[in-house]
Structure 1
Amino acid sequence: MHKEVKLIRGLRQPSYFFYQLKEMEVLRGYRQKILLVFILSALVFGLISSLGIGMDPLSKELTTLSPFTFEMEKFLFLLGRIISGLLYAAIILFVPALIFWTISDEGEYRKLVITQSLVLLILLIERLTYIPLSLFLSLDWFSSPLSLGVIAQYITSKPLFIYLLGCFSLFKIWVFYIQYKGVKRLTQQKNWLIWLVILLTNLLFWSVTAFMAFLDFSKLI
């Protein structure tokens, strides 16, 4: 079967999308789609930083820096966020796909990367929801009403625990669904093994995210 990979269909009709992906002998448009999601990730990260979200440490230096130096640091911050968007895309696309590939008897790695490209799109949509929350409600990402971070803040005051639960949101349920559909179709493994690997993989990423937020690198520089 020689059909072009259509990512939007994967979000709308995952069962049919992964059935087609499984049967495809040649992945037409594979490189273009991967390049596209890389560009989208860089644009989303760049957009968020251009709106001033996450620039609190830099804003505190406004009165101590010259206008030229401040603008230069803003530019470097934007450039750094764009690069972060590219690195984020690479990690989301290739690392989980490699993990899923290790439990597969027949799954093709590139097809698992396509599965993760759908996941990346979902995560980018989630990041876009942080914009109105930050600009209009002054909420951090872990305080999103779509996540468990809000509940965590009523349970405990420990930041690491709050960040960890803040990673789990309605969008992550969507991610689980897409990953299960894709990995199940492409690897033909048992359900318990698929769910175990998906859960552990996502817990690993959430733990790293929570730990980085807990360290708050902006205060260490």
Structure 2
Amino acid sequence: MHREVRLFRGLKQPSIFFYQLNEMEALKGYKKRVSFLFLLSIIIFGLISSFGIGMDPLSKDMTKLSPTVFELEKFLFFLGRLLAGMLYAAIILFFSSLIFWTISNEGEYRKLVITQGLVLIILLLEKLTYIPLSLFSSLEWYSSPLSLGVITQYITSKSYVIYLMGSFSLFKIWVFYIQYKGIKQLTHQKNWIIWLVILLTNLFLWSINALLAFLNISTLI
């Protein structure tokens, strides 16, 4: 079977998508799809930064900087976010797929990358929700009403815990579902092993994200 990969169909009909993906002998359009995902991630990270989201540390020093230096700092921040978008896509597509590939008896690595391509689209959609939250409600990403960060702030004042729980949202439930459907179809591994690896992999990424936020570094995951 040599059908072309249609990513957005995987979000609407994951069972059919992953069945067809598993049956494919050759992944037609693989490089084009991966390139598209990298470009999409870079654009969305750039879009978010264009609204000034995440520039709080720089804004605090605005009065201390000359207009020229401040504009240069803004440009460097924007450039850094574009690079962050590229790194973000690489981590989601290739690093996570490599972990899932280790439990595969017969799954092809590139097909797992395509699975993570669907995950990347979901995560980028989540990042887009941060724009109205920041602009209209002045909320940080970890205070999204779609995450557990809001509830956690009523329980504890520990920043790291808030950032960690804020990483878990309704979008992540969607991610779990897509990852399970894809990995199950592609690896034919036992359910408990699949769920364990999914949970540990995502928990590791959330922990890194929370650490970056705790250290006041612009978050990636």
What is the one-letter code of the residue matched to 2:81?
R
DSSP-derived class of the 2:3 partner: strand
User: Which residue of the partner structure matches residue 9 of structure 1?
Assistant: 9
User: Which residue of the partner structure matches residue 178 of structure 1?
Assistant: 178
User: Which residue of the partner structure matches residue 154 of structure 1?
Assistant: 154
Alignment of 1:124-203 (within 5 A): 124-203=124-203
Deviation at 1:67, TM superposition (A): 1.4
Alignment of 1:41-80 (within 5 A): 41-80=41-80
TM-score of the pair, normalised by structure 1: 0.97
What is the one-letter code of the residue matched to 1:141?
W
What is the one-letter code of the residue matched to 2:53?
I
Q: Deviations over 1:90-112 (max 9, x none)?
A: 00101110011000110000000
What is the one-letter code of the residue matched to 1:105?
N
User: Which residue of the partner structure matches residue 113 of structure 2?
Assistant: 113
Q: Deviations over 1:103-131 (max 9, x none)?
A: 01100000000000100000000000000
TM-score of the pair, normalised by structure 2: 0.97
CA distance in 1, matches of 2:216, 2:59: 16
What is the one-letter code of the residue matched to 2:82?
I
Deviation at 1:211, TM superposition (A): 1.0
Deviation at 1:217, TM superposition (A): 3.1
Runs of 4 or more above 3 Å deviation: none
DSSP-derived class of the 1:27 partner: coil
Unaligned segments of structure 2, at least 5 residues: none
CA distance in 2, matches of 1:161, 1:120: 24
DSSP-derived class of the 1:28 partner: coil
What is the one-letter code of the residue matched to 2:78?
L
DSSP-derived class of the 2:213 partner: helix
Unaligned segments of structure 1, at least 5 residues: none
Percent identity of paired positions between Structure 1 and Structure 2? 72
What is the one-letter code of the residue matched to 1:37?
L
Aligned residue pairs, count: 218
CA distance in 2, matches of 1:118, 1:217: 27
What is the one-letter code of the residue matched to 1:187?
T
DSSP-derived class of the 1:2 partner: coil
User: Which residue of the partner structure matches residue 22 of structure 1?
Assistant: 22
Which moved further from structure 2: 53-62 or 20-29?
Answer: 53-62
Q: Deviations over 1:123-164 (max 9, x none)?
A: 000000000000000000000000000000011111111111
DSSP-derived class of the 2:64 partner: coil
What is the one-letter code of the residue matched to 1:157?
S
User: Which residue of the partner structure matches residue 99 of structure 1?
Assistant: 99
What is the one-letter code of the residue matched to 2:207?
S
User: Which residue of the partner structure matches residue 206 of structure 1?
Assistant: 206
CA distance in 2, matches of 1:192, 1:156: 32
